[in-house]
A and B are shown apart, each in its own frame.
Chain A
Amino acid sequence: MKQICLYFEIHQIIHLKRYRFFDIGRDHYYYDDYENERSINYIAENSYVPALQTLIQMARENDNFKVALSLSGVGIEQLEMHAPQVVDLLVELNSTGKVEWLCEPYSHGLASLGNEESFVDECKRMSAKIKELFGQTPKVFRNSSLIYSDDIGAQVAAMGFKGMLTEGAKHILGWKSPHFVYNNAINPNLKLLLRDYKLSDDISLRFNNPEWSEYPLMADKYMDWIASLPQEENVINIFMELCALGIFQPLSSNILEFLKALPKCAAERGITFATPSEVIKQNESVGAIEIPYNISWVDEERDTSCWLGNGMQREAFNKLYSVADRVRIATDRRIKQDWDYLQASNNFRFMTTKQASVGLNRGIYDGPYDAFTNYMNILGDFISRVNSLYPMDVDNEELNSLLTTIKNQGEEIEAKDKEIEKLRKKLEKYNPTEVAEPKKAPAKKAAAPKKASAKTAVPAAAKEETSAKKAPAKKAAKK
């Protein structure tokens, strides 16, 4: 039986404002609030709200309908801030029980290409956010713009995901069909769902194009195409951005009516809908697929050239990720937030010098050089803020080990406090009358470790040993 795996992505960038180099060091706010509010409201009104209402209706009316969604963290923040009605609709859609939430990098950035630890960190944060909002822990992963390579797949598998979505790019598939489940070449436990770009783009790219030979596209015709696929080709992955419904293809094209008719037409032809997890569970992998170079779902090339194609983009990218480790160990919340917003891949896309880029709107920028200049000015300010957190002459590794030491000791102290607490309770059990004495003891104990941590924080690992020795000694004494 054929299964359609329908998936939508929600992501909107936080727009950067015009930031001249005179502002470097003077102005640490980088965002165009007006444009953010305007654009997200426009998109919500014309796409997200009607599209989600349609999906909710479809989920309620059709037993066989399932859908998968993912959000970028940046996108959620935008929605929470400016269009909370969309979040409500997402929650409502979630309550139908027919939605699977996928995980993606929080920033919709290129961390998977730049910094492994940041990538893992972002995915964890995103998982937590999804769990918090919808009570589901994502099992399947999709990278920003479906960027994938064998190595990225292996990282994703290491994070515990069971499956991953990517592009069924022609140059990697060759004669193979995207209508099967494949697996990662390094870690066979990670199953891959490949986007059928033809069927997906028929909706998201061509639906309203009167010059297209198949125009107008109707749901029954569309389902006929799927039904007429070879019998053994069972998994049809249709992935697109949610704003394809309403923005790329205007509502006036009746795209939502088309969508609504899909489940019924599918049922008539014995086709069902499934979420990525179900597909992965129900289908065995037909084999590993080797993708040594990065692919994505963008442009005809389906690679990363629209973000990292020219020297400017690579310089910006390298400069941004040069501080990735520092930002990760930082605790300043504004730095962390700016880090998310600056990473969004859209910022790099604005700098592309490729001639043909589908649907590229450079916003306030005149052209790639303008986009680059503006971004680099902001990055210049951001990096100087990051550098001012910790002294520049301490290199990352050293800094990291110092911070780890501090963190480890903090954890150790915490563990010891817990143990002391436990012991004290035990003690209370034995000597229920002596309440006054143990009360004094914890105060003393709490003070001692603090001193130790303060000492070790300053120079190096040498003292770590002494403090580590000290602590158990004390613990022994208390026992």
Chain B
Amino acid sequence: MKVLMFGWEFPPKIYGGLAVASYGITKGMVEGQPDADITFCLPKPCGEEEKFLRIIGMNQVPIVYRDHNYDFVKSRVPDYMSPEDYYRWRDNIYADFSYMNVNEMGCMEFAGGYPGNLHDEINNFSIIAGVLARSEQFDIIHAHDWLTYPAGVHAKMVSGKPLCIHVHATDFDRSRGKVNPTVYSIEKNGMDHADCIMCVSELTRQTVIKEYHQDPRKCFAMHNAVYPLPQDYLDIPRKNHGKEKVVTFLGRITMQKGPEYFVEAADLVLKRTNNVRFCFAGSGDMYEAMVDLAAAKGIADKFHFPGFQRGKQVYECYKDSDVFVMPSVSEPFGIAPLEAMQCGTPCIISKQSGCGEILDKVIKVDYWDIHAMADAIYSLCNNEGLHTYLAEEGLKEVDAITWVNVSLRIRRLYDECIYNGGFMNKTWEECEAIRVDIDPMKGR
């Protein structure tokens, strides 16, 4: 089975959670299903991606015909692609794009990441997808996140193959309801054309159904997973702070993540005990506001802002904590608690977080319920039994959440789309049965 996947990020270049999820899904699929053949299209690969799948750099695909000889092409293309690919793609240029800004190879340049002219890049990405759709062989199209939806839709139009889109977040989560109309229209258009919509949680699925008016039959929750930690992360020792406990928030300090609720809860805890310290790791547009708030509450002496953490630092931060808190106001999935649990740190998450749907061994509170949050923090800091239970059982629970299983569920949906005529021909009950069948909490 051949999959044409469109993505915006891929490790080792990580901008956000999307790269990790893209990696997990593809890696899990290759590991779990020997017949899976994935072609992953990126705007601008850095060349150091793992080689378990075929990577296509959209900045290497010509859209304007240029006559170059074989040796010249060979000298210009990166080592993960061959000149034959170039010629094949060149033969499938479908329109005159010579008015566009292309280089001497007839390709477009991408800045990569999330530059200011993001909308242009999205558009260019989808133009190139038309070339690929004409020249590549594949059974199904899989587009990750809204940036690649236009490309997916275009590829579907050209090839007639079914389109799956993967909703890693919606603009409703990012903006607390005040959506950007351009983004919304791109998202909605992608969903309208999709044969199958995979959402990272039931929460997101409901948003897709209610806010984007999609047919529930083709919407499925497809929860993320985590990869086992590499040995050098496992070897980071857990610190013992003696009587003092460390409570951590780690993430972008922005409205969506609910940082102010963390400060409020911390204030309540510190009113009654003083053996707790709070670590507020991350950066974001509310960073200064949070420093001010902590100072205004008079708890700045117990509050620490170590700033943005990257790579191994993240895990050092988890291992250094006694409690991890994620008070997100709206979180499509939220992988951080799973990572914290891998480090043996008990978590408190908001009920508005998608990952809560597949986690039992965490404390869930409403993000606005600062009393419950404070109570849970206090309880974890003072009751050894609860802390031990959540640390041990949480580790077991998160170890059972694997990408291989996730990709098997994705495969199930692929098969329905490719061989069984998709979901729109099925009854509501039939789709519901599939939904129940791929529910990760089934039997728990």
B is a partner of A = yes
Interface string of B165-198 (1 = CB under 8 A from A): 0000000000000000000000000000000000
The complex places the Cα of A312 from the Cα of B391 at a distance, in Å, of 12
- CB contacts (< 8 Å) of A24 on chain B: these are 272
Interface: B53 (CB within 8 A): no
**Those of A357-377 within 8 Å (CB) of chain B:** 366-367, 369-370, 372-374, 376-377
Q: Contact at B383–A21, with CB atoms within 8 Å?
A: no
The complex places the Cα of A311 from the Cα of B364 at a distance, in Å, of 19
Q: Contact at B393–A21, with CB atoms within 8 Å?
A: no
- CB contacts (< 8 Å) of A22 on chain B: these are 268, 271-272, 371, 374
Closest approach, in angstroms, between the C-beta of B270 and any C-beta of chain A? Answer: 11
- CB contacts (< 8 Å) of A314 on chain B: these are 385
Q: Contact at B379–A376, with CB atoms within 8 Å?
A: yes
- CB contacts (< 8 Å) of A380 on chain B: these are 382
Q: Contact at A369–B386, with CB atoms within 8 Å?
A: yes
Q: Contact at A373–B389, with CB atoms within 8 Å?
A: no
**Those of B269-289 within 8 Å (CB) of chain A:** 271-272
Interface: A431 (CB within 8 A): no
**Which one of B363, B385, B388, B393 has the greatest number of beta carbons of chain A within 10 Å?**
B385
Interface: B71 (CB within 8 A): no
The complex places the Cα of A391 from the Cα of B372 at a distance, in Å, of 33
Could you say which of B363, B375, B444 contacts A377, with CB atoms under 8 Å apart? B375
- CB contacts (< 8 Å) of A369 on chain B: these are 363, 376, 379, 386, 390
Interface: B149 (CB within 8 A): no
Interface: B429 (CB within 8 A): no
Q: Contact at B379–A355, with CB atoms within 8 Å?
A: no
Interface: B378 (CB within 8 A): yes
**Which one of B271, B365, B378, B379 has the greatest number of beta carbons of chain A within 10 Å?**
B379
- CB contacts (< 8 Å) of B382 on chain A: these are 21, 376, 380
Could you say which of B364, B375, B383, B444 contacts A20, with CB atoms under 8 Å apart? B375
Interface string of A38-59 (1 = CB under 8 A from B): 0000000000000000000000
Interface: B48 (CB within 8 A): no
Q: Contact at B444–A355, with CB atoms within 8 Å?
A: yes
Q: Contact at B386–A366, with CB atoms within 8 Å?
A: no
Interface: B79 (CB within 8 A): no
**Which one of B363, B382, B383, B390 has the greatest number of beta carbons of chain A within 10 Å?**
B383
Closest approach, in angstroms, between the C-beta of B423 and any C-beta of chain A? Answer: 31
Closest approach, in angstroms, between the C-beta of B221 and any C-beta of chain A? Answer: 21
- CB contacts (< 8 Å) of B376 on chain A: these are 369-370, 373
- CB contacts (< 8 Å) of B372 on chain A: these are 370
Q: Contact at B379–A377, with CB atoms within 8 Å?
A: yes
**Those of A292-321 within 8 Å (CB) of chain B:** 310-316
Interface: A353 (CB within 8 A): yes
**Interface of chain A: mostly helix, strand, loop or mixed:** helix
| Chain B interfacial residues counted at CB < 8 A | 24
- CB contacts (< 8 Å) of B301 on chain A: these are none
- CB contacts (< 8 Å) of A21 on chain B: these are 272, 374-375, 378-379, 382
- CB contacts (< 8 Å) of A313 on chain B: these are 385
Could you say which of B268, B375, B385, B393 contacts A315, with CB atoms under 8 Å apart? B385
The complex places the Cα of A184 from the Cα of B145 at a distance, in Å, of 68
Interface: B384 (CB within 8 A): yes
- CB contacts (< 8 Å) of A353 on chain B: these are 360, 389, 393
Q: Contact at A311–B378, with CB atoms within 8 Å?
A: no
Q: Contact at A312–B385, with CB atoms within 8 Å?
A: yes
Interface string of A309-339 (1 = CB under 8 A from B): 0111111100000000000000000000000
The complex places the Cα of A363 from the Cα of B372 at a distance, in Å, of 16
Q: Contact at B363–A20, with CB atoms within 8 Å?
A: no
Contact flag A312-B389 (CB < 8 Å), given A22-B268, A370-B363: yes
Closest approach, in angstroms, between the C-beta of A126 and any C-beta of chain B? Answer: 30
- CB contacts (< 8 Å) of A311 on chain B: these are 385-386, 388-389
Q: Contact at B385–A316, with CB atoms within 8 Å?
A: yes
The complex places the Cα of A249 from the Cα of B386 at a distance, in Å, of 35
Q: Contact at A312–B386, with CB atoms within 8 Å?
A: yes
Q: Contact at A20–B379, with CB atoms within 8 Å?
A: no
- CB contacts (< 8 Å) of A310 on chain B: these are 389
**Those of A375-394 within 8 Å (CB) of chain B:** 376-377, 380
The complex places the Cα of A372 from the Cα of B384 at a distance, in Å, of 12
**Those of A9-26 within 8 Å (CB) of chain B:** 20-22, 24
Q: Contact at B374–A20, with CB atoms within 8 Å?
A: yes
- CB contacts (< 8 Å) of B444 on chain A: these are 355
- CB contacts (< 8 Å) of B390 on chain A: these are 369
Closest approach, in angstroms, between the C-beta of B226 and any C-beta of chain A? Answer: 22
Interface string of B375-403 (1 = CB under 8 A from A): 11011001111101110010000000000
- CB contacts (< 8 Å) of B371 on chain A: these are 20, 22
- CB contacts (< 8 Å) of A366 on chain B: these are 364-365
Closest approach, in angstroms, between the C-beta of B303 and any C-beta of chain A? Answer: 20
The complex places the Cα of A367 from the Cα of B364 at a distance, in Å, of 9
Closest approach, in angstroms, between the C-beta of A26 and any C-beta of chain B? Answer: 10
- CB contacts (< 8 Å) of B365 on chain A: these are 366
Closest approach, in angstroms, between the C-beta of B206 and any C-beta of chain A? Answer: 20
Could you say which of A367, A370, A376 contacts B383, with CB atoms under 8 Å apart? A376
The complex places the Cα of A366 from the Cα of B365 at a distance, in Å, of 9
The complex places the Cα of A314 from the Cα of B389 at a distance, in Å, of 11
The complex places the Cα of A315 from the Cα of B385 at a distance, in Å, of 6
- CB contacts (< 8 Å) of B393 on chain A: these are 353
The complex places the Cα of A374 from the Cα of B379 at a distance, in Å, of 9
The complex places the Cα of A312 from the Cα of B268 at a distance, in Å, of 24
The complex places the Cα of A22 from the Cα of B272 at a distance, in Å, of 7
**Which one of A24, A370, A380 has the greatest number of beta carbons of chain B within 10 Å?**
A370
Interface string of A84-96 (1 = CB under 8 A from B): 0000000000000
Closest approach, in angstroms, between the C-beta of A464 and any C-beta of chain B? Answer: 41
Closest approach, in angstroms, between the C-beta of A307 and any C-beta of chain B? Answer: 14
Closest approach, in angstroms, between the C-beta of A176 and any C-beta of chain B? Answer: 34
- CB contacts (< 8 Å) of A372 on chain B: these are 379, 383, 385-386
| B contact set with A: CB distance below 8 Å | 268, 271-272, 360, 363-365, 371-372, 374-376, 378-379, 382-386, 388-390, 393, 444
Give 21 pairs: A residue, B residue, CB < 8 Å, sorted on A.
Answer: A20-B371, A21-B272, A22-B272, A24-B272, A311-B385, A311-B388, A311-B389, A312-B385, A313-B385, A315-B385, A316-B385, A353-B360, A353-B393, A366-B365, A369-B363, A369-B390, A370-B372, A370-B376, A372-B385, A372-B386, A376-B379
| A contact set with B: CB distance below 8 Å | 20-22, 24, 310-316, 353, 355, 366-367, 369-370, 372-374, 376-377, 380
Given contacts A366-B364, A369-B379, A370-B376, 7 further A-B contacts (CB under 8 A): A20-B374, A22-B374, A315-B383, A316-B385, A353-B360, A355-B444, A369-B390
Identify the 8 closest CB pairs spanning chains A and B, nearest first: A315-B385, A373-B379, A21-B378, A312-B385, A311-B389, A311-B385, A369-B363, A20-B375
